[in-house]
């Protein structure tokens, strides 16, 4: 790459020239930024400056570049590109569950609080569905990549299961140790091919008698691993040293939580480099990239924690969205920023904290050719519940599927028990966005 004087973006653009059939390499993709712990909606995108002091909190709203839309003073960079964003302030029907599961699958987990039944094999994540329906853009680039780092609360770092769709559609998770294993250290490709042939031969008998489909999934998984080992596309996408240093500097690095707790690990939150990796991955052919940023379970010191985390989130989202627009990816790549639920309007006695609030929450979307520069829905005067245009969280999911070119109404899969399963119960996208 260095000898040729080409950047990753230029190489990918070269690969996207029309083929003999008229097809191009452009593809639809989604980047999901999960805000673990439940971000405080009325301290971010739904401020209530006229509410009593025990509701409104310590922050003031600021104007954005779209008349009539205001957001938190800690997020001036997003305010400056509000014409490229859409805010939903009235998302309802979210489970009271500290997990990424429903943000990744569009369905609640089975818990004591939400005893929703799971289909045999479990609900697949959005990334697994797009992998199943559209497959890889390139054999060496996994369609579904999860960048969430390790966290002690595994439910926050979960990239989403492949569920009943099978192992071959699971998220690829390129953590530090696994990235090192994606390089052939001195083994020629011919020898690797010999080992692959031997492995297939040893597994053939078990595969013929297997009824679960798991070994078929393993075959696909092994094939994907082989492609990764023999092509640099994924490695290059993850290698930020191949990016323009000015772009790397523009994204920045972020940092850990202000006061790490037993739920965190040193690398658990706040890595702004993942925003840049996500852009590079979708540019290189990934269809769905999930990551988490920050930890928002602020039962105490809500405002102190917000002063530390929200400016970093503001910077990361604004930089990513502007970068997508600059590269002409804004029509094809959807971005969603949300958490598992909102936080309580009334400030508690724990040094100014806010508690869980599944009654209503906010989300931000961008790109994907969506109608942006608008606010959808509203809450009552205390941001306690949806007032105008309640948006079911599955409507948001239906919107993402719509942007990915997936027909929710007519897509049916069979679970591991052979029962037909539709992707969502609420199948209409948010009409204001599409």
Please state the domain extents for the chain.
26-179+245-422
Least confident of 5-14, 191-200, 329-338, 407-416: 5-14
**pLDDT at res. 220:** 62
What is the rounded CA–CA span in Å between residue 198 and residue 338? 46
Residue 223 reports pLDDT greater than 70: no
Best CA proximity match to 363, nearest among 30, 85, 59: 85
Tell me how far the alpha carbon of residue 128 is from its chain's centroid: 12
Best CA proximity match to 357, nearest among 30, 105, 158, 95: 95
Which one is predicted more confidently, 5 or 336?
Answer: 336
Is-contact 232 280, C-beta < 8 A?
no
**pLDDT at res. 110:** 84
**pLDDT at res. 19:** 34
> In this structure, how many other beta carbons lie within 10 angstroms of the beta carbon of residue 149?
20
What is the rounded CA–CA span in Å between residue 91 and residue 334? 18
Mapped onto helix, strand or coil, the DSSP state of residue 4 is coil
Q: pTM of this prediction?
A: 0.85
258-301 pLDDT per residue, tens: 766 655 554 456 899 999 999 999 999 999 999 999 989 999 99
Match domain 26-179+245-422 to its CATH number in 3.30.420.40, 3.40.720.10, 3.90.580.10, 3.20.20.150.
3.40.720.10
Q: How confident is the model at residue 117 (pLDDT cuts 50, 70, 90)?
A: confident
Q: ∠ CA(137), CA(146), CA(260), 5° rounding?
A: 160
What is the rounded CA–CA span in Å between residue 256 and residue 260? 7
Best CA proximity match to 345, nearest among 146, 51, 60: 51
Over residues 93-100, mean pLDDT = 92
Q: How confident is the model at residue 158 (pLDDT cuts 50, 70, 90)?
A: confident
Mapped onto helix, strand or coil, the DSSP state of residue 403 is helix
What is the rounded CA–CA span in Å between residue 38 and residue 340? 5
Question: Long-range contacts for 71-76 (Cβ within 8 Å, ≥24 apart)?
Answer: 71/44, 71/45, 71/47, 72/43, 72/44, 72/45, 72/47, 72/310, 74/306, 74/307, 74/310, 74/311, 74/314, 75/44, 75/310, 75/311, 75/313, 75/314, 76/314
Over residues 123-145, mean pLDDT = 95
Burial class (CB in 10 A: 0-12, 13-18, 19+), 387: middle
């Amino acid at each position: 790459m260095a000898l040729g004087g080409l950047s990753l973006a230029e190489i990918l653009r070269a690969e996207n020239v029309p083929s003999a059939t008229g097809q191009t390499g452009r593809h639809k993709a989604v980047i999901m930024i999960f805000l673990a712990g439940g971000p405080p909606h009325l301290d971010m995108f739904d401020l209530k400056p006229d509410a009593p002091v025990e509701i409104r909190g310590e922050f003031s709203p600021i104007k954005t570049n779209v008349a009539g839309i205001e957001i938190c003073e800690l997020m001036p960079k997003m305010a400056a590109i509000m014409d490229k964003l859409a805010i939903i302030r009235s998302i309802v029907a979210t489970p009271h569950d500290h997990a990424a599961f429903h943000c990744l699958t569009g369905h609640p987990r089975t818990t004591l609080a939400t005893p929703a039944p799971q289909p045999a094999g479990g609900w697949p994540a959005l990334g697994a569905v797009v992998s199943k329906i559209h497959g890889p853009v390139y054999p060496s680039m996994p369609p579904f990549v999860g960048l969430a780092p390790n966290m002690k609360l595994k439910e926050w770092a979960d990239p989403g299961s492949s569920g009943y769709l099978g192992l071959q559609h699971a998220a690829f998770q390129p953590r530090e140790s696994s990235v090192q294993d994606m390089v052939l250290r001195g083994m020629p490709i011919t020898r690797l091919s010999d080992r692959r042939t031997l492995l297939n031969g040893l597994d053939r008998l078990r595969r013929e008698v297997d009824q679960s489909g798991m070994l078929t999934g393993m075959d696909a998984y092994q094939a994907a691993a082989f492609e990764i080992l023999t092509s640099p596309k994924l490695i290059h996408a993850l290698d930020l040293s191949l990016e323009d240093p000015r772009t790397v500097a523009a994204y920045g690095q972020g940092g850990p939580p202000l006061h790490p707790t037993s739920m965190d690990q040193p690398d658990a939150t706040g890595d702004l480099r993942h925003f840049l990796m996500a852009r590079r991955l979708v540019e290189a052919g990934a269809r769905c990239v999930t990551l988490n940023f920050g930890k928002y379970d602020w039962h105490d010191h809500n405002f102190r924690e917000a002063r530390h985390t929200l400016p970093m989130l503001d910077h990361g989202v604004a930089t990513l969205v502007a970068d997508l627009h600059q590269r002409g990816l804004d029509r094809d790549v959807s971005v969603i920023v949300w958490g598992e639920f909102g936080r309580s309007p009334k400030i508690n006695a724990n040094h100014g904290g806010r508690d869980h609030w599944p009654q209503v929450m906010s989300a931000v979307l961008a790109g994907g050719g969506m109608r942006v520069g608008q606010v959808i829905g509203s809450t009552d005067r205390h941001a306690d519940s949806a007032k105008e245009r309640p948006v079911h969280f599955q409507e948001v999911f239906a919107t993402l599927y719509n942007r990915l070119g997936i027909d929710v109404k007519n897509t049916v899969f069979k679970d591991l028990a052979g029962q037909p399963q539709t992707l969502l119960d609420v199948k209409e996208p948010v009409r204001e966005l599409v």
